[in-house]
Every structure is written in C-alpha cells, then in structure tokens.
Structure 1
Amino acid sequence: MSLINVTNLTFAYDGSYDNIFDNVSFQLNTNWRLGFTGRNGRGKTTFLNLLLGKYDYSGNISASVSFEYFPFHVEHKESNTLDVIEEICPDYEHWQILRELSLLKVSEDVLYRPFESISNGEQTKVLLAALFLKENSFLLIDEPTNHLDIHARKLVSDYLKTKNGYILVSHDRAFLDNCVDHILSINKTDIEIQKGNFSDWWDNKNRQDHFELAENEKLRKDIKRLSDSSKRTGNWSHEVEKTKNGTRNSGSKVDKGYIGHKAAKMMKRSKSIEQRQQSAIEESTKLLKNIESSESLKISQLAYNKKQLVELANVSIHYNEQTVCSSVTFTIEQGERVTLAGPNGSGKSSILKLILDEDIHFTGTFRKGSQLKISYVSQDTSQLQGNLSDYAINNRIDESLFKAILRKLDFSRIQFEKDMSSFSGGQKKKVLIAKSLCESAHLYIWDEPLNFIDVISRLQIEELLLEHAPTILFVEHDSEFCKNIATKIVEL
C-alpha cells in the first residue's frame, strides 16, 4: 500500500481563462477500488492525463507507483490479438493472460485471430486482461462499459471486484455499485472522497443537499427577520435621539442624559442585530455551492393518426449472405417505450436501421406508418465539429431552444463558443440528445444514448421520458435506466 498525494493542483488548458482544477488537494490509497464520478466536462479524463504526466500544471502530484491508462491505443489492429497483448505488456507469462481471459469468459482462440476481427466487447475484455498484467502500477480505467452489453457489464464488474488498485470512470450506477469501495467525485466547487460504493455516495449527497436547502431557507428567513428588526431598531434610536433637543408634553425639559443612554442602547442593539444578520449571510454563502442543477426537460411528441406505428413479423436481416438476426417479431404502438435488448452482434442496430429506411436486406414482413416522422440519436458522435449555432441552423432546429436544453444539461455558456470537436464524449452525446428533443416526431429512436453521459443527466432524461411518455425505441445497456423506463422489452 502506498499513497498518491495531490497538493495545491491548479490546471487550465492553453488559451482558456477557466481553471479545470483550482488549488485542490487530496490523498488516494493505491489499494482502493476507486469510482470516479462527476458531470461531463468537469475534468475526469483531464485528471487521469495529469497523473500520466501529459500536461504541465501548478502544484504537486507525488506517487511511488507508475500509472497505466485504459483503453490502450492499438497501433496495428490487423495484428493477431496475442501480438497486441505482447506489445502492451512484453514481460507477461502466457499462463497469466490465459488466467485473466478465463475470468472474463473469453475463449483462448481469440489470441490467434486478428484483433480487428474480434467484437468490440471482446476487444475491451482483452485490453482489460492485458491491463491487469501490469505489476506495481495504479490503473486508470476510463469508461470501459461503452462497448459492453448488459451481461458483459455484469461480468466485467464482477472481474474488477476481484482486483484492487485502480480508478474507474463510469456513469453506470449498477456497474459502480458492484465493484468499487471508494468514490472520488468532482463537484461544482471542490473534489471529495468518500468510502463506499456509488449508491452510498449518492445517498450521502442527497442528504447533504436536502440539509443545505433546508438550512439555506431557514437562514434566508432569519436574514429577512433580522434585517427588518435592524431597521426598526435603528429608526427608534434615531427618533429617540431627535427628542434630546425637544421638550416633554408637560412643558418640562427632557433628560438628555437618559435619552442619550436609551438611544445608545438601541443603537447597540441595532449593531448586534446587524452582526447576527451578517453572520447568517456568511453562513448562507457556504451552502448550496455543490447543489447540481437538474431542471426538467421537455420533448416535442407528435400524435399519430393510428395506434400502431411499426410492425415487424418474422423479420430476418442478412449481410453478405450471413444472417444477423432471424424471426424478429414485435410492434411499436403509441406511448410505448420499447427497449431492444440482446448481446452485442445480435442485430439491434440493424433493426434500427431497417426502421430508419436504410438499405438493409431482410426477409419477412415489415410495415411502418406513412408520413411517420422519426427523430434519431446515433451511437456515433465523431461527425460533430464546428459551432453549435451552425449545427442548429444546418439541422433546422430552434437555436434558442437547443441551447436552453444544453444549459439544462449542464453546459456552461463558454461551451457555446467552442468547436464541438473539443467537447468531451458526454458533451457530444448531449448535443445529439438536445437536437432530438428539439425535433417534433411521432417516434424517437435512440441508439445507446447514454454512452459517456453523467449520472445526473441520465436521471434528467429518465424523468423526461417518464413524465412525457413519448413513443420511443431505444438500445441501452444501463440496466437501471432500462428497468426504470421500458414498458416493453424485445430480446434478440
């Protein structure tokens, strides 16, 4: 066991006026299984890169271990998987990689196939196995779940539970809950570490947020009451002071000493109230700094003139004489939230493409309502570049509404000035979701919409779909999201 000490860390990207980290200090134990959470764009991947020494920074990071980053960059994907592993970890023993692959339920034969020919999920597992061959290293695991289906996520989470000595960036609540023992969270104004899994941290955060909101309301009322009291006392003191130069109603002279003493006493009381008021104001400024905004979202659902929008009956899809999926039968009716489930490679994206009218070779019966308007969120965000205003114009959506939705999804105004190519993976995905929410449609088709999306935004999207109940067909591997949202499950 050793420690990673972060002291007075300050960092901003070149040309940026905003610090990503500002004089932060904390300490990590290299035996921890550390979940790393925070809203998109807060600096999680940036911090991992700082540990790797990729950027210059102010402050100090000290550690007696080296760092290894996942996912590895694979230069020659055409090479056999065994050669890819040897390039990553030249000193390993063959039995070690067989042991790790066995734990991850990956067959040995993938070692002798070209790396590019194995599935994305298998690639993820192979690279994780190679990562854990690294000895005397603290492992930085950045979003490993994005190419894993629900079953593979559970398997990988169980695998990570048997290990220690890593930081894991993930937004999948069930995945984190199963395998981490501490949480490192980047909040709005600070960084904190808590013992426990994600749900423990989330419960503590909600309790703290509710306490601060209640305390802030109490202080707000106290400040108003003290302010009113201070004004009244000050006015009384002023009125009493004025009588020093007058006479009593009976015509006798006033006792200036008594009145002066009374006025001074009232003024002293007024000052005491002002101090209490100032103290309450200072106390209130310490609150609510890390309350995350999660305003409700809306969707432009169009009513369709028929109950049934889509029907598939015994549909089989073929690519290059290979059958991708067979005998698929289901319908989509108005108001249904349908999740298309199944392992990677089972044909989920192909079914979506068929409904989207892409050139797909199929047999069986496929019917889609005429004049059906569909809004689509793709898995792929690589095409996003340029500024948000041009993107809104090119996609014929209301720019003001589009940016208002992005603000609700935790975009700062400074992001509106940046090129989309510089956005984090989660921010790019939010652009696609915001575009879809601006589009009036009968049917929404979302293909893995939550990849890279932070937990708070996931909860916002859940609330949106539950409140407005649009007709939606979606593919998603976040088990909590599917459990909460789906009214129908189609298993391939």
Structure 2
Amino acid sequence: MSIISTEKLSHSFHDRHLFNDLHFGMQSGERIALVGINGTGKSTLLKILSGIIQPDQGTVVTERGIRVGYLPQEPDFSNLNSVEDFIYSADNKQQQLIKEYEEVLKNDPSNVERINELTDELTALNVWEYEYAIKTILNRLQIHDFKKEISSLSGGQQKRLALAKLLIDEPDVYILDEPTNHLDIETIEWLEKLLTSGNKTVLLVSHDRYFLDQVCQEIRELDRGKVYQYKGNYANFLEKKAERFQSEVASADKAKNLWRKELEWMRRQPQARGTKSKSRIEAFYDLENKSKGPATNQKLELKIQTSRQGSKILEIENAVKSFDGNEIVSNFSYVFKKGDRIGLAGRNGTGKSTFLNLLTNSISPDHGRIDIGETTIIGYYKQGGLDFTDNQRVIDVVKDIAEHIDMGKDGIITASQLLTLFLFPPEKQFGLVSKLSGGERKRLQLMRILMLNPNFLILDEPSNDLDMDTLNVLEDFLDKFKGVLVLVTHDRYLLDKLTDQLFIFDGSGEIQIYNGNYADFKIEQSEIEASKNQKGSKKDSTPTPVSEVKSKPKISYKEKLELDGLDNLISDLETKINMLTEKLNNTSDHKELSDIATEIDNIKSELDQKTERWLELSELI
C-alpha cells in the first residue's frame, strides 16, 4: 500500500499543461529519484506532494499520521528572525527543552537548580541522544551561531539551514529538491549515509549522479506529462530510456503506415457518415497522434572557438593571502601548463573562492606574485550567478559582450543566432532576463563567458540549477576543451571525469597538490586511514591459501579484524556515555557538571568517528 499517492493529478503553469491525470505513488522505505529536463514540472510535483501548492485537479492521498518533510530549492524564512527560531520548533517540547538547557548553560551557568531541573526533564524524556543527533547535524552543516539573523545568511547558508531542520525533524517522507547544492563533498557523503540508514522513504530531485546512485533504488522520469519508472541506477536509466525511445519510434512508424491507409479511406468517404463509421473516424485521429512518435528535445550546441595559448600561461610564486589574521593561502607556488585539468577540493570555507579570486586578479596576494601570460584569456563562471538589471532583455545582455561571435570553422554568427544555439528562441531573446528560470540564467551566464573564446576556463559549481541534458552537453564540451580547466564542484562524477589533478584545501592555508582524480584520492585516503587504525595490531603470519586468493572477498582479513574490534569498542564507548550520564544526573556541583558534560561530548565525538568507520567496513562485506 502507498504511503503517499496521487489521484488523477493535473496542473498547469503559465497556461502550459505540465501533466494530466498523473498517478504517482510511493511505498514506505522506497528511495526514488525524479529526473527530467528543466520545465517538465519536477519541482511543481514535489510541491504538490508536500502540500505546498494545490493541484488544478486531483488529490494527494497520504497514510494517516504521516509527516512529510520538504526541502525547497529556495527556502522561505518569512516571519522568522534568528537561526534558533527556525531550528527549535515552538510546538516540539523536546527541542524547546534542549534550547533552554543550552541557553542556561551558556548564559546562567551558576543557576544549578534550574540546570538540575532541566537535566531531570531531559533524562525523563530520554532526550540526550536526540540532543546529540541535533548537534551532529548542525555541526556537519556548519551551523554554529544560533543567534544569527537569518536575513544575514547567504543563499547557501540558508539552504543548509533548511536541510538541517528537515533532518532534525525526522519526517516519515523526505522530499528533497536539489539537496546537494551548496554542500561540500564530505558533507554530501555524510548525507548519503544518513538518508540510506534505517528505512527512510525518500523522493529527491538532483543532478548529482553519484548521489543518485548511492541513495536511490529507482529512477522515475517525468517526460511530457507522464511518469516512466526504471529500477536500478542512473546508467541503467539511460540505457532503458534509449530502448523506450527506439520502441516508441518503431511503434510510430507502424502507426504512420496504417494512418496513410486510413487517410485514403477518410478521403473517399462521403460527408454524411453512418454511426458505424464514427468509431473508425475516432480511431483515425487517435492513430494520427500515435504516428507523430516521441517528441525530441532541442539540444544545446556548444561550439565556441578557443583562443591560441602561448608558452607562458599563468604562474604563481610564493603567494600568501590572509583575512582577519587567518592565513587562507600559505606560500603557494605553481606554474600552469598546457592541458592542465585541475579540480579544487575541500570543505566549504577552506579558501577555494579566495584562490579563484587570486587567479583572476579580483584580489591581490599579500606576498608573492601571480603573473598571467599575454595570450591567456580567462573565462570565469562564478557561483553567484549572472549580474543584470530588472529592465535588461536577454539579447541586450549578450550584445554587451559582442554583436558577432567567431565560431572558428563554422564562421561568424550574430548574437541572436548564438542565443538560438543555446536554446533561447526569438520570443525569449527579447524577453526580460528577470523572467528566466534559474537554469536558463545559468545557461545564459555560461554563454556570455564562452563568447570571450577563453583558453583558461574557471568553473565554480557549474552544475547547480542545470538539468541533466544540459549538464551532459557541458561535460562533452569540457572533455574536448583544449585550454586549461580549473573546476570547483561538489559533483564527484564531474570531478572524476574532467580532472586529472587536485588542489586540496584543508583550511590551514596549505594547498596539497595531488596527481589523480577525486576517486583516486579517496581510495588512497581510505588506505592511509586503514593503515593508521591497524598500526600496532598483531600481524597475521598465516599464509593465505591459493583458493582464497582466487576468490578474494571485498573486505580484507585485517579489515575484518578491525571491524570485530570496533564492535567491542563502540559498545564500551556507549557504556561509558551511559555511566557518565547517570553520574551527571546525580550531581549538583557546577564544576563537576561541566567536566562530565565535556567528557561526554569528547566520547560522543569519538563514538561518531568509530561508528562511521564501522559503517564503511560493514558496506565492504
């Protein structure tokens, strides 16, 4: 039985029909990805299922008592002031107790009587684990200042705040619209584990293929108002979709041949037809629709000339950059070479954007030098988006760069012709930029940058707001791009496919240069971590039988020993936490309370690390 489903769902947007008589159902424990090109109605369907908007026709049916959590692309924080106002729900007693407990400890630590009362209440409601889970989520999503005004947060911070609240509330159904936007890779990998633990019911829209493959068991495509279901991962979806398309083309060819015969019959019949012929006439018009075959979406064309590149491209020598006394880039040197394809990796806030601003001369280093070659033309695709005024038309934004564009072997074309290649038809070219969707603005921004014919391309999160089809075209273009590519992205698939070298930022100012892509780096890091964990343990000197070598399991013998040891260690840590919690409840001494709470936090942090390692090793079995 479906935990959430629709009945004869129909909806239009700006007088355009998105879907009609749509059926969509989910059962408990299903994890589903919804895909489709921009404009097909994916976000609209998520909003309808979440109860945010009402459909034109039809209903959404949910199992009684089911709580649906919804993460929009652009969260709405109206009528809310601070971060804590949003995080701690007024109608959630547990969350309000945790909020008060944290406030008393911070602002009135000498009020032992109230601390004891709150401690008793938290213990009675068994809230300590819940409090730890809340802190873990907030820390992972880099939310620390609870008193901060929401209006002062950036778009990325607001999206992370909305995601944190959803995860804290633990709904029965998770409906997520682009949940990986504004998250760094480490946080995305943590989110994958969180969503796949337990028996969560998840429906999400995402352009991140690795994320889709890790989280979802099924892909549903929304195409021309219909939903097509595909079991398995994204690669399987592409294969089955191609088979479906070929099948529809073959069916259309058969229908077309039959339609021609029926057309002759229609032309031969007198105007006054009997009742018996009416059914055949209706069948003729139905056949006419079938003969048209599957619709083919117009495809984006990226054919831009790359400027000639000289021997000197860009050189960094002993560059140093600090803000407020914190060294963001520390004594870094590098000479860019022809064909460099470099990915920037590291958590949010570790200095990647500062580094890009140094490369583009937006800011200057405090010490050292950055020299750009005379023939180097930098194209910088910024994460912030396109700058425009409310009265600017699409065609004007392009003509600000050039009215004619050199396409190399394809000759010179006008700005209007280039816009058409980028899927902006004439009616959109003379419309306002402010009326474009987020994905269309990103496409327009990309077009403006490529018009410069750059030979040094910097892309900061290019996959945000782009649909899969546009992203695939961009990948193909970048794969063949002959200039230098510097890529910042949370999309691990893009990073693996398009780069062969990494600059790794750890927040200390040091930038590690790694030869290889992100997948190579993760494998190497896992091996180093495993080696550290196993150091000092007793080595197994027993020779491995040949039969075992031929059928080697996914988990090694040493990893199995480590996994067995983690079971006991995790159990011991949980016992220590329980003992300390009991001790916490039976003391009124303020200093002792503070010491015990600190010790519990430290053990919980260690428990979190060991549990993550246990999950990693368990997945190998």
Whether the TM-score (by the shorter chain) exceeds 0.5 is yes
Cα distance in 2 between the residues matched to 1:134 and 1:417: 45
Q: Does the Cα contact within 8 Å between 1:219 and 1:284 map onto a contact in 2?
A: no
Q: Does the Cα contact within 8 Å between 2:218 and 2:233 map onto a contact in 1?
A: yes
Measured after TM superposition, the shift of residue 168 of structure 1 is 1.4
Q: Give the secondary-structure state (helix, strand or coil) at the position aligned to 2:144.
A: helix
For 1:273-422, what aligned pairs fall within 5 Å after superposition?
Answer: 285=291, 287-289=293-295, 291-294=296-299, 296-304=301-309, 306-370=310-374, 372-381=376-385, 383-384=387-388, 385=390, 386-398=392-404, 407=420, 415-416=428-429, 418-422=431-435
Equivalent residue for 1:148, pick from 178, 183, 197? 183
- Over residues 56-85 of structure 1, what are the superposed CA-to-partner deviations in whole Å (9 max), with x where a residue is unaligned? 532212223454322543458973x44431
Aligned equivalent of 1:202: 238
Equivalent residue for 2:42, pick from 33, 41, 44? 44
Residue 21 to residue 422, structure 1, CA distance change in 2 (3 Å): farther
Measured after TM superposition, the shift of residue 422 of structure 1 is 3.2
Aligned equivalent of 1:85: 87
Cα distance in 1 between the residues matched to 2:141 and 2:361: 37
Residue 105 to residue 420, structure 1, CA distance change in 2 (3 Å): same
Measured after TM superposition, the shift of residue 339 of structure 1 is 2.1
Equivalent residue for 1:106, pick from 140, 147, 151? 140
Aligned equivalent of 2:207: 171
Q: Give the secondary-structure state (helix, strand or coil) at the position aligned to 1:69.
A: strand
Q: Give the secondary-structure state (helix, strand or coil) at the position aligned to 1:132.
A: helix
Q: Give the secondary-structure state (helix, strand or coil) at the position aligned to 2:23.
A: strand
Q: Does the Cα contact within 8 Å between 2:393 and 2:431 map onto a contact in 1?
A: yes
Q: Does the Cα contact within 8 Å between 1:101 and 1:108 map onto a contact in 2?
A: no
Measured after TM superposition, the shift of residue 370 of structure 1 is 2.7
Q: Does the Cα contact within 8 Å between 1:11 and 1:19 map onto a contact in 2?
A: yes
Aligned equivalent of 2:76: 73
Cα distance in 2 between the residues matched to 1:429 and 1:148: 19
Measured after TM superposition, the shift of residue 485 of structure 1 is 1.2
TM-score, normalized by length of structure 1? 0.76
Q: Does the Cα contact within 8 Å between 1:10 and 1:23 map onto a contact in 2?
A: yes
Measured after TM superposition, the shift of residue 23 of structure 1 is 4.0
Cα distance in 2 between the residues matched to 1:408 and 1:201: 27
Aligned equivalent of 2:10: 10
Cα distance in 1 between the residues matched to 2:25 and 2:45: 14
Cα distance in 2 between the residues matched to 1:168 and 1:143: 7
Q: Does the Cα contact within 8 Å between 2:185 and 2:490 map onto a contact in 1?
A: yes
Aligned equivalent of 1:236: none
Q: Does the Cα contact within 8 Å between 1:6 and 1:60 map onto a contact in 2?
A: yes
- Over residues 217-270 of structure 1, what are the superposed CA-to-partner deviations in whole Å (9 max), with x where a residue is unaligned? 9769x959x989x99xxxxxxxxxxxxxxxxxxxxxxxxxxxxxxxxxxxxxxx
Q: Does the Cα contact within 8 Å between 1:88 and 1:130 map onto a contact in 2?
A: no
Residue 389 to residue 312, structure 1, CA distance change in 2 (3 Å): same
Aligned equivalent of 1:483: 496
Measured after TM superposition, the shift of residue 209 of structure 1 is 3.1
Q: Does the Cα contact within 8 Å between 2:252 and 2:293 map onto a contact in 1?
A: no
Cα distance in 1 between the residues matched to 2:144 and 2:422: 41
Q: Does the Cα contact within 8 Å between 2:346 and 2:504 map onto a contact in 1?
A: yes
Measured after TM superposition, the shift of residue 443 of structure 1 is 1.9
1:439 aligns with 2:452: yes
Residue 149 to residue 468, structure 1, CA distance change in 2 (3 Å): same
Measured after TM superposition, the shift of residue 321 of structure 1 is 2.6
1:131 aligns with 2:160: no
Q: Does the Cα contact within 8 Å between 1:177 and 1:198 map onto a contact in 2?
A: yes
Identity across matched positions, percent: 23
Measured after TM superposition, the shift of residue 404 of structure 1 is 5.1
Q: Does the Cα contact within 8 Å between 1:315 and 1:366 map onto a contact in 2?
A: yes
Letter in 2 for 1:84: F
Cα distance in 2 between the residues matched to 1:68 and 1:91: 19
Cα distance in 2 between the residues matched to 1:30 and 1:401: 54
Residue 208 to residue 330, structure 1, CA distance change in 2 (3 Å): farther
Q: Give the secondary-structure state (helix, strand or coil) at the position aligned to 1:147.
A: coil
Cα distance in 2 between the residues matched to 1:471 and 1:98: 45
Cα distance in 2 between the residues matched to 1:107 and 1:461: 29
TM-score, normalized by length of structure 2? 0.61
Q: Does the Cα contact within 8 Å between 2:71 and 2:175 map onto a contact in 1?
A: yes
**Would you say how many aligned residue pairs link Structure 1 and Structure 2?**
438
Aligned equivalent of 1:191: 227
Measured after TM superposition, the shift of residue 179 of structure 1 is 0.7
Cα distance in 2 between the residues matched to 1:177 and 1:412: 34
Cα distance in 1 between the residues matched to 2:10 and 2:495: 39
- Over residues 291-330 of structure 1, what are the superposed CA-to-partner deviations in whole Å (9 max), with x where a residue is unaligned? 54445421221002x2231111332221233212223332
Measured after TM superposition, the shift of residue 344 of structure 1 is 1.5
Residue 324 to residue 484, structure 1, CA distance change in 2 (3 Å): same
Equivalent residue for 2:56, pick from 48, 55, 58? 58
Aligned equivalent of 2:218: 182
Q: Give the secondary-structure state (helix, strand or coil) at the position aligned to 1:193.
A: strand
Cα distance in 2 between the residues matched to 1:175 and 1:402: 37
Q: Does the Cα contact within 8 Å between 2:6 and 2:22 map onto a contact in 1?
A: yes
Cα distance in 2 between the residues matched to 1:179 and 1:474: 25
Q: Give the secondary-structure state (helix, strand or coil) at the position aligned to 2:466.
A: coil
Q: Report which structure shows greater RCO (CA 8 Å, sep ≥6).
A: 1
- Over residues 98-147 of structure 1, what are the superposed CA-to-partner deviations in whole Å (9 max), with x where a residue is unaligned? 22543686399936564769998776555434213436553321212111
Q: Does the Cα contact within 8 Å between 1:35 and 1:167 map onto a contact in 2?
A: yes
Cα distance in 1 between the residues matched to 2:341 and 2:142: 39
Residue 189 to residue 108, structure 1, CA distance change in 2 (3 Å): closer
Gaps of 5+ in 2: 99-127, 265-283, 406-412, 506-621
Cα distance in 2 between the residues matched to 1:46 and 1:417: 26
- Over residues 18-58 of structure 1, what are the superposed CA-to-partner deviations in whole Å (9 max), with x where a residue is unaligned? 22334433333354222122112322222233334454532
- Root-mean-square deviation over aligned CA pairs: 3.9
Cα distance in 1 between the residues matched to 2:20 and 2:491: 33
Measured after TM superposition, the shift of residue 172 of structure 1 is 0.3
Cα distance in 2 between the residues matched to 1:490 and 1:474: 10
Residue 29 to residue 67, structure 1, CA distance change in 2 (3 Å): same
Measured after TM superposition, the shift of residue 211 of structure 1 is 4.6
Residue 77 to residue 197, structure 1, CA distance change in 2 (3 Å): farther
Aligned equivalent of 2:561: none
Measured after TM superposition, the shift of residue 178 of structure 1 is 0.5
Letter in 2 for 1:192: Y
